[in-house]
Structure 1
Amino acid sequence: MEKITFINSKGQSVELGNDGPYILTKIEGTGAVNVDIQTQKSPYQDGESYLGNTLDPRLISIEVMVLAENIEEMMIHRRKMLNIFNPKLGEGILIYEIGSIRREIKAISELAPVFPDAEGFKDTMQPGLIQLYCPNPFWKDINTAKEEVAIWRGSFEFPLELVEEGIELGYREPSLIVNVLNKGDVATGMRIQFKALATVVNPSLFNVNTREYFKVNRTMEAGEVITVATHFQNKRVELNKNGVISNVFNWIDFQSTFLQLDPGDNLFRYDADEGIDNLEVSIYFNPQHLGV
């Protein structure tokens, strides 16, 4: 079953699918987008030298059939679509579902929904056209993936049987290195979370493949959490201390890199100048795809 849901910046939503009053009849633009290839040419050079490429924004066209019992109900349905797909509200979230695949993309209406005349049907059936513009062309997985790089595992469970030598309540993961698998088509940013169980000095995360690292020059106390967002145009470093969030961008080590996840395998190693056994590190990310 194919279904789309649009949620605008005010949290209002509409669902287009197989059931009324909004029947999804056609959607275009969910696949690949145009590529802008960058090249340069030197004097007397045959052909050109390839430099790289970028992807154009994504354009999505949606056709819908609006169903109603009478003209009054039709006007209510049309008004709802006009309110939700209001271009003045800025970017919203378009969720696309087909089979077991569920992905989302940020989109803005290029114009208010258009309702062409349909001779003999406008009272109970009304076709509609929606044009969406997606500045970032990549579809993202709706569910956020999580990898725990360093964590204490609980081993206390019921039923409890006491033994003479005692029981183990928890244990530390033995490996300092973890593989983070990015199943997307392109590199993506992530959210790195450093959590201190006791005193930790200068926590860091190192990319074994690229030899790049991200380090926070800070002595963390028990219960403090530092969250690093490495997404393009949304880079942040924040401290959560007793529920109070503060910007700590100035704590970044000057040689740090806002690490990215390449498609496929990514090996990371966590570290700290002191108190490494008191550090928990988690990575959160949403793989990005070229199309659906």
Structure 2
Amino acid sequence: MFKLTLENQAGDQLSFGHGSPFTISEIDGLYPPSATINTSQIAMMDGAKFNSSKVNMRTINIAFAIEYDAAKNRIEVFKVLKSKQWVQMNYSSQYRNVSIAGYIQSIEITYFAMKQIVTCAILCPSPYFKDAQEMIDSLVNITGAFHFPFSSTASPKQLIMGKIFNEIGMVVENDGDVDTGIIIVLYARQPVSNPKVYNYITQDYIGVQYNMLAGDHITIDTRQGEKSVTLLRNGVETNLFNYLMEGSTWLQLDANGSTFVHEVGTGDVSTLNLTIKHYNLYEGV
């Protein structure tokens, strides 16, 4: 059994399932998307030489019946599904809870059939299903140092409520099917300069040529179509894209997981908190 909803940008939804006035008859496009393979012919060589490959956009076709009252419920369909407009499909089953976003390419309705059927085509520029839950990993561990019952004659400033420890490296697991972009959040507890995060295995890195003050947050987004570098200081957000270090690459989380470490140019790296966020991506459901 599965549950499926379609949601537009305004938050309006069409739900399919028990008690819904809409009954799904067919869904096409839930399997892995097709790929384009680029090759070139070489004289005196059998076959061809592989050059590159890419995954194509996904098209999802949904056909569903409108139950009684057909005229009323058809209007509800039009409120949610609008040509060329953004829509998100949420899909959950026993094993996966995912979503995918796209744009309404076409809507067709069999007006004069005994039971009206709606056929909707959704074109998804990003072809992967995204896990509903964001995964968050941090290099900082806080160990509690305050226990009950206790007795102390120390002043409140001398009581240690907890201790913060920075780990040397962080293994980030990826339970999805493909490599995915990540969101890197750097939080400075003390001033540091030129923070850099790199993949421990490949030695690829991304860094920012900037002096961070205590309380600063730098967020680096490496997701496809979302690439950005921003600073949050005293509630004001500043674009730091032009401060990227030379040689930086937009780090990706490998399909089998990656190990990330960080360093700074000046200052104590143990005072720089590193958090990495990502969504698992799937080819099919």
TM-score (norm 1): 0.89
Aligned match of 2:212: 220
SS at 1:264 equivalent: coil
Q: Deviations over 1:164-189 (max 9, x none)?
A: 99875333335311111111111111
Whole-Å separation in 2 of the counterparts to 1:113 and 1:82: 11
Q: Structure 1's 253 and 60: CA in aligned 2 closer, same or farther, altered over 3 A? A: same
Q: Deviations over 1:111-149 (max 9, x none)?
A: 124245323x4xxxx332222111221111111101102
Structure 1 position 177 matched with structure 2 position 161: no
SS at 1:76 equivalent: helix
Aligned match of 1:256: 248
Q: Deviations over 1:35-91 (max 9, x none)?
A: 2112112111111112232122111111212222x4xxx3221112112110232x2
Aligned match of 2:144: 155
Q: Which runs of 5+ in 2 are unaligned?
A: none
Matches within 5 A, 1:230-241: 230-241=222-233
What displacement does 1:23 show? 2.2
Structure 1 position 285 matched with structure 2 position 278: yes
Whole-Å separation in 2 of the counterparts to 1:225 and 1:30: 38
SS at 1:87 equivalent: coil
Whole-Å separation in 2 of the counterparts to 1:210 and 1:15: 45
Aligned match of 1:131: 121
Aligned match of 1:246: 238
Structure 1 position 75 matched with structure 2 position 79: no
Aligned match of 1:48: 48
What displacement does 1:158 show? 5.2
What displacement does 1:5 show? 1.4
What displacement does 1:152 show? 4.5
8 Å Cα contact 2:138/2:274 also seen in 1:
yes
Matches within 5 A, 1:104-119: 104-119=99-114
Matches within 5 A, 1:184-195: 184-195=176-187
Whole-Å separation in 1 of the counterparts to 2:188 and 2:124: 39
Structure 1 position 97 matched with structure 2 position 119: no
Whole-Å separation in 1 of the counterparts to 2:108 and 2:213: 53
SS at 1:111 equivalent: strand
Q: Structure 1's 163 and 38: CA in aligned 2 closer, same or farther, altered over 3 A? A: farther
Q: Provide the identity percentage.
A: 25
Q: Structure 1's 31 and 235: CA in aligned 2 closer, same or farther, altered over 3 A? A: same
Q: Structure 1's 159 and 238: CA in aligned 2 closer, same or farther, altered over 3 A? A: same
Picking from 132, 135, 140, the partner of 1:145 is 135
What displacement does 1:281 show? 0.6
Whole-Å separation in 2 of the counterparts to 1:289 and 1:92: 19
Whole-Å separation in 1 of the counterparts to 2:284 and 2:172: 22
Q: Structure 1's 113 and 284: CA in aligned 2 closer, same or farther, altered over 3 A? A: farther
Whole-Å separation in 1 of the counterparts to 2:141 and 2:176: 29
Whole-Å separation in 1 of the counterparts to 2:58 and 2:161: 51
Q: Which runs of 5+ in 1 are unaligned?
A: none
SS at 2:257 equivalent: strand
What displacement does 1:160 show? 4.3
8 Å Cα contact 2:166/2:273 also seen in 1:
no
What displacement does 1:153 show? 0.6
Partner AA of 2:199 in structure 1: N
More displaced stretch, 214-223 vs 48-57:
48-57
Partner AA of 1:21 in structure 2: P
Partner AA of 1:112 in structure 2: I
Aligned match of 1:17: 17
Partner AA of 1:57 in structure 2: M
SS at 2:75 equivalent: helix
